[in-house]
Structure 1
Amino acid sequence: MNATKEPMTEYGYKKLTEELNDLKKRQRPETVIELDIARSHGDLKENAEYHAAKEKLAFIDARIAELSDFVSRSQVIDPSSYEHDKVRFGSTITLENLETNEEVTYSIVGSTESNPDLGLISYHSPLSKQLMGRCVDEEVVIKLPVGTQEYAILNITYCEIDFEVKFK
């Protein structure tokens, strides 16, 4: 397992721990019961319910291990507690593509909270890494899988992200 700290917001930590608790306290016990019931039906070679429950249990156990790792490495960060005079975790950045003059806005969040379609990019993403530490009015050449693009940083702020609204 990876030992590096995983930055995330309070919301991200809460969602991870809620899912982990649900898996451990509800889904896994229910699946163990399903497995026991299916096992009692006899011949295991041709018992579809048994094999389905066994696969479901394996998936749940793998997800529990993954979430337990994330939770143990989590570092909850409150982005409202520091200045956003440069790009940092939790910053909301408005960029202008210098070729197309198109503006885009992204917020830098933890990897488990990211959703690029909603403007939430992972702290570990190539774009985020290339923006970290930059200031307003800086021009930056961003290397992306589709090639390089030049952007100007128009604004850096901290905006409280309403994850409940974003993920509905």
Structure 2
Amino acid sequence: MTETQETWLTQESYDRLKSELDGLIANRPLLAAEINERREEGDLKENGGYHAAREEQGQQEARIRQLSELLNSANVGVAPTQSGVALPGSVVKVYYDGDKSDTETFLIATREEGSEGAKLEVYSPSSPLGAALVSATVGETREYSVPSGKVVKVTLVSAEPYHN
């Protein structure tokens, strides 16, 4: 995430992500100790354990930065209350290219919002589909481009606030 954008999260998702962040931060001293241990094993050029520990440290630090940014910009527990308009935090039902039998129901939110084991697909409001739908009203048709360059028409059938 290069630019800060507000993210809608349920309290459950915020708590889960905060717990993950706290665990990663608590693990920093253990990982640093492991790196020091591996460093003392000898020649760093041929020390696979040292390089693996350094790579793990880099991945964890990147995740810490990602979670910190996400949680700092999160709008927690404030779901939309309006029905009939696709907003972040809405469960929407759509159909594609005028085919009313080709429907899909999903949540407009961040991937982090989707709770583990949930059966509801999640599309980011900044994804092509999510961006096309944000602020659409029921019955409205919008267009967006897929990676192949094809333009897809999507029609909003319903939009309801998300409830856990």
1:23-59 Cα offsets, whole Å, 9 max, x none, are 1103x22211211221232333322222221222222
Structure 2 stretches lacking a partner, 5+ long: none
Question: Could you state the TM-score of these two structures normalised by the residue count of structure 2?
Answer: 0.79
**Other structure's SS at 1:24 match:** helix
The percentage of counterpart residues that share the same residue type is 26
Q: What TM-score does the superposition give when structure 1 sets the normalisation length?
A: 0.78
Deviations 1:94-119 (A, max 9, x none): 1122146311112111253369x952
Say which SS state the counterpart of residue 101 (structure 2) adopts: coil
Extract unaligned runs of 5+ from structure 1. 162-168
Query: Measured at CA, do residues 37 and 153 of structure 1 come closer, stay the same or move farther in structure 2, by a change above 3 Å?
Result: same
C-alpha distance after superposition, 1:109-140 (max 9, x if no partner): 1253369x952111211211211222222233
Number of aligned positions between the proteins = 158
Paired residues of 1:8 and 1:111 also in contact (CA < 8 A): no
Aligned residue for 2:70, secondary structure, equals helix
- Superposed counterparts of 1:146-161, under 5 Å: 146=148, 147-161=150-164
Partner of 1:24: 25
Q: Using a 3 Å threshold, how does the CA distance of structure 1 residues 142 and 51 change in structure 2: closer, same or farther?
A: closer
Deviates more, 1:141-150 or 1:123-132: 141-150
Structure 2 distance, partners of 1:123, 1:53, is 36
Deviations 1:76-100 (A, max 9, x none): 2421x62223111111111122146
Distance 1:77 1:125, change over 3 A: farther
Cα offset, 1:21, TM superposition: 0.7
Decide whether the 8 Å contact of 2:143 with 2:154 is kept in 1.
yes
- RMSD of aligned alpha carbons: 2.5
In structure 2, what is the equivalent of residue 13 of structure 1? Answer: 14
- Partners in 2 of 1:7 and 1:58 — Cα distance? 27
